[in-house]
């Protein structure tokens, strides 16, 4: 089984890639993170289907939270 932290980091990286190539508007990036989390949870994790879906949602929301926190930290330096 993959380490959950590694999967979250990969989802954050994929969302950053989607952001950089401007495939979807920035307001939908948390939704993209949730979808990536669900997909990785279903494909890469072991267990019952409902456990895979639950952990996928947790992965996606965690990745979205990390993504949002990184935006807050980088914007904090821009404030005068």
Note if the pTM is more than 0.85: no
The tens digit of pLDDT for each residue in 2-53 reads 688 898 999 999 998 998 998 888 888 889 999 999 999 999 888 999 999 9
Cα(29)–Cα(50) distance, rounded to whole angstroms? Answer: 24
Cβ contact 2:45 at 8 Å: yes
| Per-residue b or e along 33-42, where b marks 16 or more CB atoms closer than 10 Å to that residue's CB | bbbbbbebbe
* Long-range contacts of residues 56-60, Cβ cutoff 8 Å, at least 24 apart: 59/4, 59/7, 59/8, 59/11, 60/11, 60/33, 60/34, 60/35, 60/36
Q: For the chain, what are the domain ranges?
A: 4-74
């Amino acid at each position: 089984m993959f380490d959950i932290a590694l999967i979250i980091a990969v989802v954050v990286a994929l969302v950053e890639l989607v952001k950089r190539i401007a495939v979807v508007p920035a307001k939908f990036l948390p939704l993209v993170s949730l979808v990536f989390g669900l997909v990785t949870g279903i494909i890469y994790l072991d267990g019952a289907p409902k456990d895979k879906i639950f952990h996928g949602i947790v992965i996606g929301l965690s990745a979205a939270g990390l993504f949002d926190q990184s935006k807050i930290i980088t914007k904090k330096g821009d404030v005068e």
